[in-house]
Amino acid sequence: MSVRSPIRIVEVGPRDGLQNERTILPTEVKVAFVNALSKTGLSEIEVSSFVSPTWVPQLADAEDVFKRIERAPGLIYSALVPNEPGLERALAVGVAKIAVFTAASETFNKKNTNATIAESLERFRPVVARAKTQSLPVRGYVSTAFYCPYEGKIQPERVKPVAQALLDLGVDELSLADTIGKATPRDLRALLETVLLFAPQDKLALHLHDTYGLAIANALVAWEEYGICAFDASAGGLGGCPYASGASGNLATEDLVYALQASGAQVAVKPENVVAATKILASYVKRSSESRLGRVLQPSA
Ligand code: HMG
Ligand code: MG
């Protein structure tokens, strides 16, 4: 049981957060945001996506962002890659880790990537193989691992073959995503009981959106009961998927850090610095921060 292992947080705000904003932020603001996040103690930042700019215009400047950020030593700057053209773009700007993404529900995957689950896995085969030749670590997302906005509850038995297929392709890490933030601790336990039968605990991460306010509870259950030590989170609770109606922000990084530190976990991130990084976005992101700690530290905000 690795309950006492240090926590690894993957900051997804610059990608998951900004992909869902109505406003397309200027590249220099994104760069400043990533640079500020680089000073918070995080070990990995998902910076952008090399997806179709028609599908996600908010992140069409992925190359420029990667070229302009100041990369802190030891910090991993990763990106989403849906296919081989995306990988070529990512390699051209020195991305250090890539994430491929599919789902446990066919309807969501089709709307998000214009492919069936099987087709998306076939797309990933050459992507993962080529990433390996470049010594790039690969993460595999399984979206809608608990609920689908179109198909409702997704049973763990439907997550299993997708997660297993990603592991078989050679991904180094699996991120199980509660895309619409609806999972309860009971759902989480059921999924982890199934997935941990074939996936090593240290290859699992949880990607929790917080629509119903249960993401912190789920993260604490995953850590305390199952020893999961890798979590995705988003500064200020930004986030959502343009192709998942009803998805609200990710679990706020600063709230996750607070909850885990207060529970005795080793987390190297300074939550007040994460809150400070979100201030860079204040005049561009219209909705108020979802973060509890943000309100505590900036009561007038
Ligand atoms: P498609 O239209 O089926 O692709 O989209 P295609 O291969 O037929 O190509 C169509 C056009 O797109 C072509 O251009 C390609 O060159 C171009 P045209 O000839 O028409 O001028 N194209 C690209 N351009 C740049 N970079 C690329 C690329 N690929 C094709 N990589 C595709 C298929 C997968 C590309 C599209 O559906 C797509 O980009 N989807 C991404 C959607 C997305 O980013 N969703 C949000 C991220 S996932 C998420 O948020 C969930 C997550 O947070 C976990 C959770 O919470 O669940 C990870
Ligand atoms: Mg997400």
* Structural domains of the chain, ranges and CATH numbers in brackets: 8-297 (3.20.20.70)
**113 Cβ contact partners less than 8 Å away, ≥ 6 residues apart:** 82, 101, 102, 120
CB-CB neighbours of 213 under 10 Å: 12
Q: Which of 16, 21, 49, 52 to mutate to test the pocket of ligand 1 (most atoms within 8 A of CB)?
A: 52
Checking phi first, is residue 11 left (phi over 0); if not, alpha (psi -120 to 50) or beta?
beta
* Residue 288, pLDDT score: 63
> Ligand 1 center to residue 175 CA distance, Å?
19
Phi, psi (rounded to 5 degrees) for 48? -170, -170
58 vs 49: CA distance, rounded Å: 10
* Token couple for 268: 């190297």
Output DSSP code: residue 15: I
Closest Cα to atom 43 of ligand 1: 112
> Ligand 1 center to residue 49 CA distance, Å?
9
pTM exceeding 0.85 = yes
Ligand nearest to the CA of 101: 1
* Residue 32, pLDDT score: 98
Q: Could you list the active site residues?
A: 241
Ligand nearest to the CA of 176: 1
The list of the chain residues with pLDDT below 70 reads 1-4, 287-289, 299-301
**250 Cβ contact partners less than 8 Å away, ≥ 6 residues apart:** 12, 13, 16, 17, 207, 208, 209, 210, 215, 232, 233, 234, 237, 238, 239
Burial class (CB within 10 angstroms; exposed 0-12, middle 13-18, buried 19+) of 4: exposed
Output DSSP code: residue 209: B
Q: Which of 18, 49, 51 to mutate to test the pocket of ligand 1 (most atoms within 8 A of CB)?
A: 51
Burial class (CB within 10 angstroms; exposed 0-12, middle 13-18, buried 19+) of 300: exposed
> Ligand 2 center to residue 74 CA distance, Å?
24
Ligand nearest to the CA of 239: 2
CA dihedral 287, 290, 292, 297 (to 10 degrees): -40
Closest Cα to atom 1 of ligand 1: 114
Relative to the CA of 120, which ligand 1 atom is closest? 34
Residues, Cβ < 5 Å to ion ligand 2: 16
65 vs 70: CA distance, rounded Å: 10
> Ligand 2 center to residue 57 CA distance, Å?
17
Around ligand 1, the residues with Cβ closer than 6 Å are 16, 19, 49-53, 55-56, 80, 82-83, 85-86, 89, 101, 112-114, 141, 143, 177, 179, 207, 209, 241, 243
* Token couple for 150: 């179109």
